[in-house]
């Protein structure tokens, strides 16, 4: 375990940051949450750019090891602290996890994440396109989750942590989950994990709950 709390630079409404916060909690690691005010542009200041030159949250500082990018951080935390549970060593199982990390960076980012960015942060994306992409993704997830409890098999992995937040909060971007019972059951399975911690919901998200 880490010698002292791992610092997590994050914004409470950032789904990418929540992935890491959730992983840290599931692993039972002591964590110091450091608020980065995205609205005031703190992620673009020279001080923050010194720890992540891309100017994005999340970033962790694990006793001097500084690492950015949510999926990269998940891999690091699982490999260092997960005791083989969250990132399997078997080549095929590991490849299945990697597939969903790619989906998290691709289809989930272009679909539910962008749809939510429009309504929560006023991002200038095409809402119709983001919602269409979201449902195309959810249809695939619905079929695959009809075959296994979690995305990469019967045990939760970082694949599920990477995918959870933006799918769970998809209604905040006007993407309804009502037609996807397997997806909703999967969300429930993640929320039932020991030490689960959710992301703060916006007013729109609370209305959809």
Domain membership flag for residue 49: yes
pLDDT of residue 204: 56
pLDDT of residue 39: 85
Cβ atoms of 77 and 19 closer than 8 Å: no
Place of tokens 């942060």: 121
Range(s) of the domain holding residue 183:
91-208
Task: Specify whether 183 is located in the same domain as 161.
Answer: yes
Task: Specify whether 96 is located in the same domain as 170.
Answer: yes
**Of 47, 81, 115, which marks where a domain is finished?**
81
pLDDT of residue 2: 46
**Of 81, 113, 131, which marks where a domain is finished?**
81
List the chain residues with pLDDT less than 50.
1-2, 205-209
pLDDT of residue 57: 97
Task: Specify whether 97 is located in the same domain as 200.
Answer: yes
Task: Specify whether 52 is located in the same domain as 137.
Answer: no
* Number of domain units in the chain: 2
pLDDT of residue 205: 45
Task: Specify whether 122 is located in the same domain as 174.
Answer: yes
pLDDT of residue 3: 67
Q: Kindly state the tokens that stand for 183.
A: 């997806």
Task: Specify whether 21 is located in the same domain as 104.
Answer: no
Cβ atoms of 138 and 182 closer than 8 Å: no
Cβ atoms of 44 and 70 closer than 8 Å: no
**Of 81, 108, 126, which marks where a domain is finished?**
81
Task: Specify whether 65 is located in the same domain as 113.
Answer: no
pLDDT of residue 1: 45
How far apart are the C-alpha atoms of 113 and 117, rounded to whole Å? 6
The CATH number covering residue 169 comes to 1.20.1050.10
Distance separating the N- and C-terminal Cα atoms of the chain: 36
For 4-38, the pLDDT digits (tens) are 999 999 999 999 999 999 999 999 999 999 999 98
Query: Comparing C-alpha atoms, which of 193, 194, 199, 192 is closest to residue 167?
Result: 199
């Amino acid at each position: 375990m880490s010698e002292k709390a791992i610092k997590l630079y994050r914004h409470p409404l950032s789904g990418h940051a929540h992935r890491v916060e959730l992983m840290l909690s599931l692993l039972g690691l002591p964590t110091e949450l450091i608020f980065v005010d995205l609205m005031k542009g703190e992620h673009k200041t020279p001080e923050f750019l010194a720890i992540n030159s891309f100017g994005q949250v999340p970033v962790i500082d694990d006793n001097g090891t500084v690492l950015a990018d949510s999926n990269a951080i998940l891999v690091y935390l699982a490999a260092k602290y997960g005791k083989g549970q969250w990132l399997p060593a078997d080549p095929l199982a590991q490849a299945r996890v990697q597939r969903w990390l790619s989906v998290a960076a691709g289809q989930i980012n272009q679909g539910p994440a962008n749809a939510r960015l429009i309504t929560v942060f006023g991002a200038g994306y095409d809402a119709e396109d983001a919602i269409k992409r979201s449902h195309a993704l959810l249809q695939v997830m619905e079929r695959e989750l009809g075959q296994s409890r979690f995305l990469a098999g019967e045990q939760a992995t970082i694949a599920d942590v990477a995918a959870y937040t933006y799918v769970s909060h998809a209604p905040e971007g006007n993407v309804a989950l009502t037609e996807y019972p397997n997806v909703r059951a999967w969300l429930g399975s993640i929320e039932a994990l020991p030490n689960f911690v959710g992301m703060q919901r916006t007013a729109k998200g609370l209305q959809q709950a």
